[in-house]
Amino acid sequence: MGRDLRYGRVERTRSRMETGEHRSELGQWQTAHRPADPRLRAYIHGYVASSSRLRTPIQERHVPSIEVALLLNFGEPHRRLDVAGSGEWIVRDGAWVVGLHDRYQLATAAGERHFMVVRFTPIGAHLFLGLPLDAIANEAVDLDRIDPALARVVMSRVGPARSWPDRFDAMESLIAERVTRATIPALVGVAWHRLLTTHGRAALGSLADELECSHRTLIARFRTYAGFPPKTIARLLRFNRAVRVLDGLSRTRGHEPAGKPYIETAQSDDLRARPIRWADVAADCGFFDQAHFIRDFREFAGMTPDAFLRQMSFLS
């Protein structure tokens, strides 16, 4: 697979790239996103690019998702205010990786930004980076701290490209070279597939027995390949399914990649008046009952599902 990805791929994938633009009193954004080559979908979901000029700082809410993000900066250093943590401005440049999180993050973005996001699956990120993902869980780490040689290769291959499609292509070729010859242990592959296809509803108590391994072994392998134990991954999958349901009810957020941040915005009166059967949403997303649904949603998003739907939007 890695040997023939480069042939005929540019014309096919460029036609699938989607672009968008937003202008308001907050500033202006131009975005582009493209799914990964189908042969790489086990390792990467796709790519997102954003060029923006913010007239005023905006608060972003990043909710947990089952994606590991590699960010490449092509403009001024990326400035974010760590609202929920240190309260200090964090400046990043070059390339950095955001591991899986099991809690929401608040940040304030400001100024001009010009960057690209590579949306890895956890297994893809483990194979591409060559490190156990629990080492970067709930962290954002500069790529040159993880692997200085890889950081130089990424920026030398992707940096010279003059357009987002060319940058997507360069990144995709590099990913194919690094991951398609790697081996995923059957234990991890089967368990991960089971969790994904059941949206986190798999019976974890019997999964280890079915795979003929100990619970300790299963947990250890998941920490290496995903960053969290299976129980946490299952909870995140159910939460992500619920977020997609709410996104589908929003006129501003539907069909956006899961890892993109939300900002606070006023929703329409029609949306506020729309009756929502939260117990049905909870059941459809695999929660034991509405109380468990609200508890998990509040933990992962920092607010109730109703407040999330009313206040959150996607603009950047």
pLDDT (tens digit per residue) in 85-119: 677 888 889 999 999 999 998 888 888 889 999 99
35 found inside a domain: yes
Q: Is the pLDDT of residue 7 over 60?
A: no
Q: Same domain, yes or no, for 197 and 297?
A: no
Q: How many domains does the chain have?
A: 3
259 found inside a domain: yes
Q: Same domain, yes or no, for 256 and 190?
A: no
d(CA 207, CA 222): 13
**How many percent of the chain have pLDDT more than 70?**
87
d(CA 59, CA 279): 30
Give 204 or 216, the one with higher predicted confidence.
Answer: 216
Instruction: Identify the helix (H) or strand (E) that includes residue 227.
Output: none
With left for phi above 0 and alpha for psi between -120 and 50, is residue 301 left, alpha or beta?
alpha
Q: Same domain, yes or no, for 163 and 88?
A: yes
> Last residue of some domain: 231, 265, 299?
231
Which tens digits make up the pLDDT trace of 234-262? Answer: 999 999 999 999 888 765 555 566 677 88
Question: Does the pTM exceed 0.85?
Answer: yes
Q: Same domain, yes or no, for 269 and 130?
A: no
| Residues 59/103, Cβ–Cβ less than 8 Å | no
Residue 207 domain boundaries: 186-231
13 found inside a domain: yes
Q: Same domain, yes or no, for 37 and 115?
A: yes
148 found inside a domain: yes
d(CA 243, CA 135): 27
Q: Same domain, yes or no, for 158 and 196?
A: no
pLDDT of residue 6: 42
Residue 201 backbone dihedrals phi, psi, to 5 degrees? -95, 0
Q: Is the pLDDT of residue 195 over 80?
A: yes
Give 17 or 153, the one with higher predicted confidence.
Answer: 153
Q: Same domain, yes or no, for 166 and 20?
A: yes
2 found inside a domain: no
Which tens digits make up the pLDDT trace of 137-164? Answer: 999 999 999 999 999 999 999 999 989 9
